[in-house]
Structure 1
Amino acid sequence: MKFFHLSDLHIGKQLHHYNLCEEQRFILQQIVDYAKKEHPDAILLAGDIYDVAVPSAEAVSVFDNFLTSLSEIEPAIPVMMIAGNHDSARRIDFASSILAKNDVYIAGMPPVTPEEKVKKVTLEDAYGPVDFYLLPFVKPGYVRKLVEEEITSYDGAVKAVLSREEIDAARRNVIISHQFYTAGASEPLISDSEMHIVGGIENVDVSCLASFDYAALGHIHRAQKIGEERFRYSGTPLPYSVSEASDEKAITVVELGEKGTPAVVTSHPLKPRHAVRKLTGKLEDILEKKEYAKDFVSVTLTDEVESNRPKEQLETVFERILEIKIDNARTRNLLNFTTGKVEHVDPYEAFCSFFKEMNHRELSEEEDAFLREVIQKQIGGEEE
């Protein structure tokens, strides 16, 4: 049984202020092309289909085109998808009964009443059946009617849901899940584009997935295993933050043999339409890197002498500038100074100073008025 494991498409997402829908169309077409060429037995989408709960019409169109393209492949390839924490469970579930008749299986909500079970899809190959369990993002509040005791942790919530399933250990079992899984004290490597609650209350110990031959996980944006090789995050198909600039994005390809043999995991590389790059150096040197003109670039300037209008100069070469940072002796001394004992500073003055340091100009009248309004609202909110 061979299947593609994907997750965290985040369709509709912006990278800084750039709309990524065309980038996503481009990368999703590569996935369709791989599916046409290899014809896997299934395609698994482990949550966060969209970037927001109420996606734009453009985002819906991108995903609709992707599903339509997959559905046109013959013979049909079953697609199984779950809702992630960014998705609206009810919207993802829309028309799921009709779509199931066309081999698109959707689980938006986990079981929330005693009568409900985790959605299961069974496929067969030469070694017999494979049971796929579709477990969407689970919150403690979702399971309050499932068990008698109060559940307050995500770990307890996932365990409560799985404890009610009658999983046949003699069969091959795969789970599709979207949570922040950890292996004891070991946490997955995250990037700047994930949503993660500090303090560990989101954590779910991966040991609760011991009954499964493979866990197709979503939520973490870097491809990696967590604990054992069979518990894997596929990562995002595109870099969604500067911290992912060096990541090699890919489709995770899984092959299950007969029961008791480990899953074989390989990957197919995904090449973005425009790469995300970090460029560091003096302004004159970075301006020579014209081969990256169309990429998304994060620029760090190291000039000790302040350049004349660096942003304007960079914009003459690079079409997609994400950010411009300064790293020289002056900024490092400022950083060292601010890491010491900090005296109380008026928030208005602090922001004005920061803005001037970063943009080499004073606030405009409109920006100044807006800043004062925001600070006043914040102060007023604290006093209420």
Structure 2
Amino acid sequence: MNVDFGGAGDILFEQVGRAGIVTLSRPASLNAINHRMISALARALSAWEADSAVERVIIRGEGRAFSAGGDILDVYRAGLEGRASPDFFADEYRLNAAIARFPKPYVALIDGIVMGGGVGVSCHGSHRVMTENAVFAMPEVGIGFFPDVGGSHLLSRLPGEFGMYLALTGNRIRRGDACAAGLATHSVNAGQMPALMQALCESDSVDGTLSVFGGEAEPQTDEGVLHAIARHFSFGSLPEILESLAGDQDEWAQGTLATIEKRSPTSLHVAFRQVRAGAMLEMDACMKMEYRILNRMLAGHDFYEGIRAVLVEKGSTPRWKPETLGDVREEDIDAYFAPLADGELTL
């Protein structure tokens, strides 16, 4: 049975058996999350939480991506015209927090790319199922932004400093690494997805069903690199991390350092601090912190410059301000985390 919670066809809702099914339906845009989709999914979760006939929620993407992120080009254009507004992000962050506290099983079937905003509507759920096609990343520091949508909560809780590594590099990982780090809770091959969907709609137990379909996925990152990540990314400041990498002549360390040095210096400093802070905060507090950061990013330079270089004039080199990590002042980073004069995020 189809259900209409809005979304103008960009997101679809059904009730099948015991399940409420959400389908992100913008395959030509790799299911990029827009404001309509956020509002519709929030309405659906509110209704389904109160509906005893819906025992679980399943979310999936149409096509070759789960979701490649948030649809931020409208935000970019508004900023260039002096109309920057945090409203899209405020509603997105409220949705992320609602998913994290949703009292029923919330099963994300991740078959393809999951990045940025797609992570926000999947990885805070109770069950994260990845196929061999899954590609996870939080690449925001590469566009002058920061790992938002609850990245401060999610990444800070990964073992062995893996979350800090992902935040500062923006690197992509596959299913095996996601399972090993706890980003994914289950591994299921893509060919089994139709049968799994049917079983999830009909079965008594989500956990029991996933245990039947689930299999093992070998990590792609070897033990030596994992030990190097844990060592290099454990320091108490960003300069110490970079100094540690610079002092290691191993090819992996030098390549990782080169990757980080291409990212926005401001974003790197913000991402480091937010991940360290997030480890000590619950999800709602993380979202309020990220909303503070977001408002300052919208008033800054690097976010618009990064989108221009990466998404608008694809392949061009961004011109960050400040240009180097050493040029970023601590008091400037403090300002990203300061209370908002116009009001904090309400959840």
**TM-score calculated relative to the size of structure 1:** 0.28
**TM-score calculated relative to the size of structure 2:** 0.30
**Larger of the two Rg values belongs to structure:** 1
Normalized per residue, which structure has more strand? Answer: 1
